[in-house]
Amino acid sequence: MTGQLLEFLTSYGLPAAALLLAVGQFGLPLPTSLALLTLGALAGNGDADLTTAFLWALCGATLGDQAGFIAGRFIAQSAEGRQGFLGGLARKARAAEPKLARWGGGGVFLTRWLFTPLGPAVNIASGITGLSWIRFTAWGVAGETLWVSIYIALGFSFGSNIETLAGILGNLSMALAMLALAAFFGWRLKLAVNAAQTRSRLKRQEQS
């Protein structure tokens, strides 16, 4: 995979890397982290300018984020009045808008560089729930800047071992994402249990 990606980026240049990152950040299963490591390795070998590679990568990743956000916003605007699954999804998203408006920025930032497997889903969810575009973009660009910087720097420093490094980082990101999901569902379960206990207590009080 590394050799093929290296050959692809060498043949088609930095715009191709930006396109790969954009499509990957939109949600298609592409080796975006490996692509960033490869860009860093190319810069380390003198085959690409480090600053130019960083800017192309950041533009590509941000473009993918924006595409996901716009797709989510389109679903919310076009389906809110409909019956069925999409309509229900849009109405639930609209109801959750105040909560995401309060906490969504931090979630966008963390899923750019730490919980990266959740990033594409968060992009779409941010659009569906009506998170401010300015807030989404500001947090998204900040997170992507950190992600691109870390991975290009690692590729620049450890270019000869990028495939092993990519595997380690990919497994770590997936593990962190699973932990985040487990914590979220545990929190929701705790809320549900507390609500059930409160209803049961109120019912007993009414009967006594």
The answer to the question of residue 176 being in a domain is: no
The answer to the question of residue 200 being in a domain is: no
Q: Return the structure tokens found at 10.
A: 């060498």
Residue written as token pair 């659009």:
127
**Quick check: 113 and 49 in contact, CB under 8 A?**
no
The answer to the question of residue 171 being in a domain is: no
Q: Is the pLDDT of residue 140 over 90?
A: yes
Q: Is the pLDDT of residue 2 over 60?
A: no
Give the pLDDT confidence score for residue 21 in this predicted structure. 95
The boundaries of the domain holding residue 129 are 2-166
Is residue 100 packed enough to be buried (19+ CB in 10 Å), middle (13-18) or exposed (0-12)?
buried
The answer to the question of residue 22 being in a domain is: yes
Q: Which of 76, 177, 88 is nearest to 133 (CA)?
A: 76
Give the pLDDT confidence score for residue 106 in this predicted structure. 86
Q: Is the pLDDT of residue 150 over 60?
A: yes
**Quick check: 117 and 173 in contact, CB under 8 A?**
yes
Q: Is the pLDDT of residue 131 over 80?
A: yes
Confidence band of 78 (pLDDT split at 50, 70, 90):
confident
The answer to the question of residue 36 being in a domain is: yes
The answer to the question of residue 38 being in a domain is: yes
CA 65, 67, 72, 74 torsion-angle sign: positive
The answer to the question of residue 20 being in a domain is: yes
Residues 6+ apart with CB under 8 A from 15: 56
The answer to the question of residue 32 being in a domain is: yes
Domains in the chain, number = 1
